[in-house]
């Protein structure tokens, strides 16, 4: 039997999966690393911890699977987007990585609109200037850490840095580069005009390749340093990876949405052509499939909201215990609404200063009402879907049964639960399988590796109730965005 490995460099952990030619997941290993929040709005990580934890995970993965290393034919990567990693001329790290959920760069976003113009920026990049993107981070370092910026020879995105440390090759690919705000989406190249207007030397940008292009082998130096010499580099072709959540059966067909519930919630829709009316309303990126695009809506603190709530208000109970009593709470959480703006928001409100809230609290509310309100907000996170919705909409979810069922009611759509919970890492393995020639078409890989396990259908009566609640939910942002800005003056600096 032959195998491929998928590596997902996530925000809080790296996950590795070993998959055989039939799409069976043979082993899974995850390793955590910390987030660094020096100040309010700051979010950083030490990239060396990515490398160390990945090496540890790979060693454990191979040992757990009890397979011959020479039977591993390929490795591919997925990972957190937008993060900034800066290297000097000797390819040494200059500072911690600034992550996608860092919101310090509002000033730099305004500067980009001033020197480039919002319409011009949208025409080139198809996206708004948002704090999470890479270019504003570069401008922040240029302004506030000029000595570091002067030493910078190349910037990299998180998964690209990991791959560089494993192979010795520096590249990025189009779907990830599209999230930097430096890529001309239509021409698939770094944009000279944009770089000049922003004051960024285009030579800082890494070389670009297609997502499925083979770029090299695992280096002997990485194998020896990390004690995984049993990796035979002649067998381990390394494939670049698109944002791996794209790799699902629905995501290679027009008109079907794919929903990923995790730290944040992501809504994907593949498109074979650029649609100008959507520029700036949702993220618009190059797809890993050549000459295709995808739109993406993002709520930054979706699944994270439930984790935050549990850690702060129900730390000594399990998730199962926390959710067990929710069936006794009616739709609407007894008149309680929660907004999940714990770290700002992306879609449909590009607002780094908005913050979350519970609306409607009174003395009768119990912990279960608050829990249900946090869960219930997941059913309201569909404004980005509504911008492109059609009658054939189908959603694919990873998540708990209760969330699935009630989401079908809120979205008024059939929801298909996938048979595996291994999203991005499995997507990386799928692209590795395609790059190794196991299948001639990437769509065929999707059909073999991913299947559905259960389908949930909406309840017409509940759909109507959620429609009423959703209108109230949308009003909360309009009523609290200015208040959030004013409260920001009292935060820890």
Between 238 and 118, the higher pLDDT residue: 118
pLDDT confidence of residue 92: 97
Question: What pLDDT, in 10s, does the model give residues 119-149?
Answer: 999 999 999 899 989 999 999 999 999 999 9
In the chain, domain spans: 3-244, 303-380+460-490
Mean pLDDT of 327-335: 92
String of b and e for 464-488 (b: at least 16 CB within 10 Å)?
A: eebeebbeebeebbeebbeebeeee
Task: Say which residue, 385 or 67, is predicted with more confidence.
Answer: 67
More confident residue, 184 or 215: 184
Evaluate whether 50 touches 14 at the Cβ level (below 8 Å). Answer: yes
- Give exposure, 414-437, as e/b (b: 16+ Cβ within 10 Å): ebbbbeeebbbbbbbbbbbbbbbe
Helix extents (H) in 158-231:
158-167, 174-177, 192-198, 220-225
Using an 8 Å Cβ cutoff, are 43 and 98 in contact? yes
Confidence grade of residue 101 (pLDDT, cut at 50, 70, 90): confident
CATH among 1.20.1050.10, 3.40.50.10860, 3.30.70.580, 3.30.420.40 for 3-244: 3.30.420.40
Q: How confident is the model at residue 244 (pLDDT cuts 50, 70, 90)?
A: very low
Q: Is 93 exposed, middle or buried (0-12, 13-18, 19+ CB in 10 A)?
A: middle
CATH class of 303-380+460-490: alpha beta
Contacts of 121 (CB under 8 A, 6+ apart): 112, 113, 127, 128, 129, 181, 194
* Residue 88, token pair as written in the block: 């000097």
Q: Decide which of 66 and 275 is more confident.
A: 66
Q: Give me the mean pLDDT over the 293-304 stretch.
A: 75
79 or 229: whose pLDDT is higher? 79
More confident residue, 113 or 416: 113
Query: Cis omega before residue 348 (within 30°)?
Result: yes
CB 180 within 8 A of CB 135: yes
Average of pLDDT values for 39-60?
94
What is the number of residues in the chain?
Answer: 493
What would the pLDDT profile of 343-357 be if each residue is shown by its tens digit?
888 777 878 889 999
* Range with the poorest average pLDDT among 4-13, 202-211, 380-389, 440-449: 380-389
Give the least confident one: 182-196, 348-362, 378-392: 378-392
Q: What is the pLDDT of residues 2-19, one digit of tens each?
A: 999 999 998 889 999 999
User: Fold identical between 3-244 and 303-380+460-490?
Assistant: yes
pLDDT recorded at residue 267: 56
pLDDT score, position 436 = 86
What is the model's pLDDT at position 85? Answer: 98
Measured in degrees and rounded to the nearest 5, phi and psi for residue 249 equal: -60, -35
| pLDDT value, residue 493 | 61
């Amino acid at each position: 039997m032959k195998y491929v490995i998928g590596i997902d460099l996530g925000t809080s952990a790296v996950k590795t999966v070993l998959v055989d030619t039939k799409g069976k997941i043979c082993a899974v290993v995850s390793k955590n690393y910390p987030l660094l929040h020096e100040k309010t709005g700051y979010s950083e990580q030490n990239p060396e911890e990515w490398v160390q934890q990945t090496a540890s995970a790979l060693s454990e993965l191979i040992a757990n699977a009890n397979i011959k290393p020479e039977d591993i034919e390929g490795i591919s990567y997925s990972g957190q987007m937008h993060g900034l990693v800066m290297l000097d001329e000797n390819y040494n790290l200059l500072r911690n990585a600034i992550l996608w959920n860092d919101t310090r760069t509002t000033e730099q976003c305004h500067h980009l609109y001033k020197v480039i113009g919002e319409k011009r920026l949208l025409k080139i990049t198809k996206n708004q200037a948002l704090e999470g993107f890479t270019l504003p981070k570069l401008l922040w370092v240029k302004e506030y850490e000029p000595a570091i910026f002067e030493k910078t020879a190349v910037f990299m995105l998180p998964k690209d840095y990991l791959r560089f440390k494993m192979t010795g090759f520096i590249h990025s690919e189009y779907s990830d580069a599209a999230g930097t705000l430096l890529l001309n989406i239509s021409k698939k190249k770094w944009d000279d005009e944009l770089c000049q207007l922003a004051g960024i030397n285009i030579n800082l940008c890494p070389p670009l390749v297609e997502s499925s292009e083979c770029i090299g082998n695992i280096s002997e130096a990485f194998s020896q340093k990390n004690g995984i010499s049993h990796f035979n580099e002649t067998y381990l072709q390394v494939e670049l990876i698109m944002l791996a959540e794209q790799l699902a059966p629905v995501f290679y067909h027009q008109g079907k949405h794919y929903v990923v519930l995790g730290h944040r919630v992501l809504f994907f829709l593949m498109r074979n052509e650029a649609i100008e009316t959507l520029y700036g309303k949702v993220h618009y990126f190059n797809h890993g499939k050549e000459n295709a695009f995808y739109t993406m809506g993002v709520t930054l603190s979706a699944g994270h909201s439930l984790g935050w709530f549990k850690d702060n208000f129900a730390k000594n109970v399990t998730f199962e215990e926390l959710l067990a009593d929710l069936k006794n709470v009616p739709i609407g959480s007894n008149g309680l609404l929660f907004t999940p703006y714990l770290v700002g928001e992306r879609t449909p409100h590009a607002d780094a200063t908005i913050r979350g809230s519970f609306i409607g609290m009174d003395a009768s509310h119990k912990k279960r009402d608050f829990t249900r309100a946090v869960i219930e907000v997941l059913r309201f996170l569909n404004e980005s879907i509504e911008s492109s919705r059609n009658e054939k909409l189908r959603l694919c979810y990873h998540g708990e049964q209760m969330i699935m069922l009630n989401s079908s009611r809120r979205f008024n759509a059939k929801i298909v639960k996938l048979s595996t919970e291994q999203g991005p890492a499995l997507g990386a393995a799928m692209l590795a399988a395609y790059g190794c020639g196991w299948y001639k078409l990437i769509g065929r890989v999707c059909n073999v590796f991913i299947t559905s396990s259960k389908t949930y259908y909406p309840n017409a009566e509940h759909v109507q109730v959620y429609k009423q609640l959703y209108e109230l939910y949308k009003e909360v942002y309009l009523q609290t965005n200015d208040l959030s800005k004013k409260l920001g003056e009292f935060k820890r600096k």
